[in-house]
Amino acid sequence: MTDLAPPAEAIGCAHLWKRFGQVVANRDVSLSVMRGEVHAVIGENGAGKSTLMRALYGIEPPDAGSVRIGGEIVARPSVAAAIARKVGMVHQHFMLVPTLTAAENVVLGKEPWLGPFVNRRRAEREVAELSERFGLRVDARRLVSQLSVGEQQRVEILKVLWRGADVLILDEPTAVLTPPEVAELFDVLRGLVADGKTVIVVTHKLDEVLALATRVTVMRRGELVASLDPRATTAPELARAMVGRDLAAAPPRPLFTGESRERLRVEHLTVARDDGSLALDDVSLSVRGGEILGVAGVEGNGQSELALALAGLVATGARARVLVDGHDVAHQSVRVRQELGLGHVPEDRHARGAILEMTVEENVRLGRQEADDSALALACKRILERFDVRPADKSVPMAALSGGNQQKVVVGRELLREPLSVLVAAQPTRGVDVGAIERIHAELAHARVAGKAVLLISADLDELLALCDRIGVLYRGRVAGCVDNEFARRAEVRAEVASLMLGAGT
Amino acid sequence: MIATLLSLGFFAAVVRITVPYALAALGGTLSERSGVINIALEGLLLFGAFSSTIGAWFGHGPVAGVLGGVLGGAALGALYALLVVTLKGDQIVCGVALNLFADGITRFLLKATFDSSSNSPRIDAWGHIGTTLILVTVALVALFHVVLYWTPFGLRLRAVGEHPEAAASLGVHPARIRWAALVLAGAVAGLGGAWLAADQRQFVAGMSNGRGYIALAAMIFGKWRPAWAAAACLLFGLAEALQIVLQASGVGVPAWAVQMLPYVLTMITLAGFIGRAQAPRALGKSD
C-alpha cells in the first residue's frame, strides 16, 4: 500500500535496495518525482546517485523494491521497458559514435527507411526540427567527432527526445561544460519542462541546484537523507545535508613568507597537433614559489596540451624552454623532470592518472619505482591519512575506490613527491565530490604556503577564483591575458577572465 | 616489354590476380568495420578453395562449385564468430588458429577424398566461370559500398565497430551484427577461394599462399572502405603481374628481388607511409 503513487507522479521507486558485493549502494530508497519537476539529486561521489538513476532507467534492476513509471509499477525493469514508457537517460560519459553524423547518432537503431536504405534526409529534417523546437543548436549533418563537448551533449539530449521521452534523466550533465554552455543547457531544460516534460538532474554542484531545480533530493551513503525546496534552502544547508557535517569556510589565503623566487618559467612553448595546426602557440609564463597561477579557458584552447607539454608527454617546438628551478627541461624525459621536482596531476584520471586494475600502493609506486618498500609504505600512509582516502587500505585495487577517492590518491602521489618544486595540476577536481574537492583544495593551498609553485589548470572558474594568485587565460593556444586575482575585486576579476576566455583579449 | 605491359593479356593477368584479393579484402572490410580483426581471411580463402572444389567435383558444375566455396567460407566464418564473438576469444589468436586449422583440415580432406597429399585431380567441370566471377566481384564491391554506407544494417555495423556500448544503449545488438558480418565475410572470402580453385581447375594444398594477408594489407591501404580496398587490391595485382613480366623478360634483376615486390608494397602500406589510417575504434576488443 505504501507503493501507491501520488496521482501526478512521473517516475519513482519504493524501498529500493541495491548491493554490489559488500557495498550497499542504495538502502531502502523511496523517491517520487512529480510531472513537470526539475528534480535535482545531489550527493557526494559514492552516495548512490548514479546507481539509483541506473535502477530507474532499468540498466541495473534493483535487488529489492519497486520502480514506478507513470504511476505504475514496472514488473520487469529494463532499458527497453523504460524507453517504452518514455523515459530517457543522458549518460555522464557520452554514448556517441564519433564517426557518424549527429543525425545518424540520433536515429541509430530506429532508422527511418526509404526502400532498403536509411532515409537520411528525413532523419536530418526531424533532428533539425527537434533541435529548433527545443533550442538545442547542433548541425544534424556534422560528424560527432567534429562537435564540441556542449554540442555532443545536445545530440545526446536529442537522441532521448527523438525517441519520445517525457522523463529525462541527466547524469552529471554540467561536469564537462563551460559556464556559457551550462547557462544554455539550463535554458534548454527549462524549455523542456515548459513543454510538459520532467527532468531529473544528478549533480554535486550546489549553485546549479539552486539555479535550476524545483525540488532537491539529497543522498548520503546510499540513503535518501533529505528532500528540500531549493527556494527555501541555502548552499551551506545543502552542503551540510550532503556531507553530514559543516564544510570548512572558504580557506583563508595565508601568504608564503619565505623568499619568493621563480620556480617555473616557460618560454616560447609551442605544441603542434597531429594535423599540423598549433595547439599552443608561443606560450610564455612564470610561476614563483608560494604562488598558484591559474589557467582558465574554454575547453580545447590548449590547456590539455599545456599540462602534457610541461609534464614531458608531448613534443614541444625547438625554441621552447621550460625551466624548473632554473634547469631547462623542455627537451628532457619525464624522469628527469620528476627528479628535478616537477609533479603532474593529469587531466584524465582514467587515461593517465591511475591504473585502475592495480592496487593503491602500486599506483603510488608509479613515479617512485626506485623507492624501497618502507619508503613506499610511508608514502602510502601519508597519502591515505592526509587525504582521508576511504577505504584507507593501500592493498585494494584503485577500481574499488570512488572517483573522488581515486583522485585523492593521484593528487596525493604527486603532491607528496620528494623533491617537489613545481606542481602542474590539470582539472584536479573534475568529476569528484565536494568532500574530495575540499580536501584537494586545502592541500593545494598548503603546497602554496610551503613555497611550491602551482600551475592550476581548471575549467571551474570558481575554483580558480578561490585558490589562485593570478589567473592566466588561454585562447586559441595563446595567452590572451593574465589577471591578478585580488580578493576584494572578485566580481570584476571574474568578468575580466570570462571575457578573455571568449577572445576579448585578442 | 613495354608492348607486353600494354597488351590485353597483361591486363587480364592483373584482373585474374586481383579477384581473390578483392573478395577477401571485402570480407575483411566488413568484419573489421564491425570491430572484429579478421586475420582468418587466409584460412577462409583456403577453405573456400577446397569446399568449392568439392562442390564442383561432386556437383559436376561451376554453380555447385561456387556454392560450395560460399557455404564453406560462411561455415568457417561462423566458427570464427563462435570463437571471438560468442566465446570472446582473442581475435588474433583465434584467427591464427583458424588459419592453421584450415591448412590442416584441407590437407586431411584432400587425402580422404582424392587420396593425394598435394592436389586434387583436374576438374574440367569449372568451365568458363571466370568472366562471370569477375563481374560478380565488381558488383559485390558496389554492393558492399551501398550496404555499408546507405542501409540501416551498414549504419549499425559501423556504429558497433566504433562504439558498441553506444549502439547497445539504443537497442542494437553488437553480437548479432558481428555474427552477421563474420558469416558474410566468410562467404565472400570463400567465393575468393572458389576463384582460386576455378582458375587453376584444381585444389592445391596451401594454395591461398598468403593472399589473405595481402588482402588484409590492401584493406588497411584502402582505409577500411570497400571501393578503396578493391582499388588497393588492383594495385597489388598490378605489382604481382609486373613481377611475372619482369621475370619472363629476363631484365637483369634477380628473380627473388622481383618476387618481393608485392610484399614490399604491403610493408610500406602497413608502416603507414601512405597517409595515416584510422581503424575502427572498437577493433580487436572482445567486449
Residues of chain A whose beta carbon is less than 8 angstroms from a beta carbon of chain B are 79-80, 83, 91, 95-100, 104-105, 108-111, 113, 116-118, 159, 274
Question: Smallest CA–CA separation between B114 and chain A, in Å?
Answer: 45
Digit-coded pLDDT (tens) for B234-246: 988 988 888 888 8
Work out the mean pLDDT of chain B and round it to a whole number.
Answer: 91
- Confidence at residue A1, expressed as pLDDT on a 0 to 100 scale: 42
Mean pLDDT of B167-182: 93
With beta carbons under 8 A apart, name residues in chain A contacting B156.
108-109
Beta-carbon separation of A100 and B158 below 8 A: yes
Give the chain A residue nearest B160 (alpha carbons): A97
pTM of the model as a whole: 0.76
Question: Smallest CA–CA separation between A328 and chain B, in Å?
Answer: 33
Report yes or no: B155 at the A interface, CB cutoff 8 Å. Answer: yes
Within 10 A of A484 (CB to CB), how many other CB atoms are there?
11
Digit-coded pLDDT (tens) for B96-112: 999 999 999 999 999 99
Report yes or no: B145 at the A interface, CB cutoff 8 Å. Answer: no
- Confidence at residue A240, expressed as pLDDT on a 0 to 100 scale: 83
Q: How confident is the model at residue B30 (pLDDT cuts 50, 70, 90)?
A: very high
Question: Smallest CA–CA separation between A146 and chain B, in Å?
Answer: 15
- Confidence at residue A2, expressed as pLDDT on a 0 to 100 scale: 46
Question: Which option is the CATH number for B2-273: 3.30.1360, 1.10.3470, 1.20.120, 1.20.910?
Answer: 1.10.3470
Report yes or no: B40 at the A interface, CB cutoff 8 Å. Answer: no
3-state secondary structure of A374: helix
Question: Smallest CA–CA separation between A108 and chain B, in Å?
Answer: 7
Ranges of chain A whose pLDDT falls below 50: 1-2, 251
To probe the interface with B, which of A94, A97, A101, A118 has the most B CB atoms within 10 Å?
Answer: A97
The DSSP annotation for B78-100 comes to: HHHHIIIIIS---HHHHHHHHHH
With beta carbons under 8 A apart, name residues in chain B contacting A109.
156, 167, 170-172
User: Could you tell me which residues come within 8 angstroms of residue A480 by beta carbon, excluding any fewer than 6 positions away?
Assistant: A297, A473, A474, A500, A501, A503, A504, A505, A506
**CB A77 within 8 Å of CB A67:** yes
With beta carbons under 8 A apart, name residues in chain A contacting B158.
97, 99-100
Q: Measured between CB atoms, which of A100, A104, A117 is closest to B151?
A: A117
- Confidence at residue B4, expressed as pLDDT on a 0 to 100 scale: 75
Total residue count of chain A as it appears in this document: 506
- Confidence at residue A404, expressed as pLDDT on a 0 to 100 scale: 87
Beta-carbon separation of A109 and B158 below 8 A: no
Q: Measured between CB atoms, which of B165, B167, B281 is closest to A108?
A: B167
With beta carbons under 8 A apart, name residues in chain B contacting A104.
155, 159
With beta carbons under 8 A apart, name residues in chain B contacting A108.
155-156, 159, 166-167, 170, 172
- A492 alpha-carbon distance from chain centroid: 26
The DSSP annotation for chain B comes to: -HHHHHSHHHHHHHHHHHHHHHHHHHHHHHHHHTT---TTHHHHHHHHHHHHHHHHHHHTSHHHHHHHHHHHHHHHHHHHHIIIIIS---HHHHHHHHHHHHHHHHHHHHHHHHS-SSBPPP-GGGTT-HHHHHHHHHHHHHHHHHHHHHSHHHHHHHHHHH-HHHHHHTT--HHHHHHHHHHHHHHHHHHHHHHHHHHHTS-BTTTTTTHHHHHHHHHHHTTT-HHHHHHHHHHHHHHHHHHHHHHHHT-SS-HHHHHTHHHHHHHHHHTT-SS-----TTTT---
Q: Which of B31, B20, B286 is nearest to B178 (CA)?
A: B31
- Confidence at residue B55, expressed as pLDDT on a 0 to 100 scale: 96
Beta-carbon separation of A100 and B167 below 8 A: no
Beta-carbon separation of B170 and A117 below 8 A: no
**For cell 598548503, what's the residue?**
A446
Report yes or no: B149 at the A interface, CB cutoff 8 Å. Answer: no
Per-residue pLDDT at B27 exceeds 60? yes
Query: Which domains, ranges and CATH numbers included, belong to chain A?
Result: 9-243 (3.40.50.300), 262-501 (3.40.50.300)
pLDDT: which is higher, A391 or B156: B156
Beta-carbon separation of A117 and B159 below 8 A: no
Q: How confident is the model at residue B274 (pLDDT cuts 50, 70, 90)?
A: low
With beta carbons under 8 A apart, name residues in chain B contacting A111.
152, 155
Beta-carbon separation of A108 and B158 below 8 A: no
Mean pLDDT of B86-98: 96
Q: Which of B121, B94, B114, B46 is nearest to B284 (CA)?
A: B94
The reply to whether ipTM tops 0.85 is yes
